[in-house]
Amino acid sequence: MDKKALEIKVAGIIEPVIKALGIELFSIELSTERGRLILRVFIDKAGGVTIDDCELVSREIGSILEVEDPVERAYNLEVSSPGIDRPLKRPEDYKRASGKKARVVTLEPIDKQTFFVGDIIDAGDMEIVLLLPKDKRVTIPYKNISWARLEVNV
């Protein structure tokens, strides 16, 4: 089974458990580091995620993953928050981040550029609108986004 299919399978197993705890499954990442397989589960909830939330989810999904055994080899399970500079992947992520500053890289240039930093002023089902410096607005279709994440204001 390829990596993406395995991530989808694991999400299907653990998402109902996480949801029952009043927490949202943000994303799953399966990677290999120094020869060890790592299953990273990112969770989110209104008001933010605490260490206690991470421990609770880790215990609950760890038990179910032992029973279901979707990953065929040994792995380390890590549960955490996506962080304040979280990636934006789904339309729901952009909608939730409305009003916040984001860094967006596009696949194809828009107005001769592929890198944008601005406030998300609208997030629909097909595209986002960023407010750039000097009150310039740019509309970016989701299908043209290579990657995006929230920008941390320091």
Question: 125: domain CATH number?
Answer: 2.30.30.180
pLDDT greater than 70 at residue 154: no
Q: Please tell me the pTM assigned to this model.
A: 0.75
- Report pLDDT digits (tens) over 3-43: 889 999 999 999 999 999 999 999 999 999 998 999 999 99
Q: Residue 145: what pLDDT?
A: 97
Indicate whether 153 pLDDT > 80: no
Q: How many distinct structural domains can be found in the chain?
A: 2
In CATH, what number is assigned to the domain containing residue 72? Answer: 3.30.300.70
pLDDT in tens, 32-53: 999 899 999 999 998 889 999 9
Q: Do 51 and 95 fall within a single domain? A: no
Domain carrying residue 117: 91-150
Task: With respect to residue 109, please indicate whether it lies within any of the assigned structural domains.
Answer: yes
Condensed to tens digits (0 to 9), the pLDDT of residues 102-136 reads 999 999 999 999 999 999 999 999 999 999 999 99
Three-state secondary structure readout of the chain = CCHHHHHHHHHHHHHHHHHHCCCEEEEEEEEEECCEEEEEEEEECCCCCCHHHHHHHHHHHHHHHHHHCCCCCCEEEEEECCCCCCECCCHHHHHHCCCCEEEEEEEEEECCEEEEEEEEEEECCCEEEEECHHHCEEEEEHHHEEEEEECCCC
Identify whether 57 is part of a domain. yes
The verdict on residue 86 lying in a domain is no
Residue that terminates a domain, selected from 80, 111, 138: 80
pLDDT (tens digit, 9 = 90+) per residue, 54-110? 999 999 999 999 999 999 889 999 999 988 888 998 898 999 899 999 999 999 999
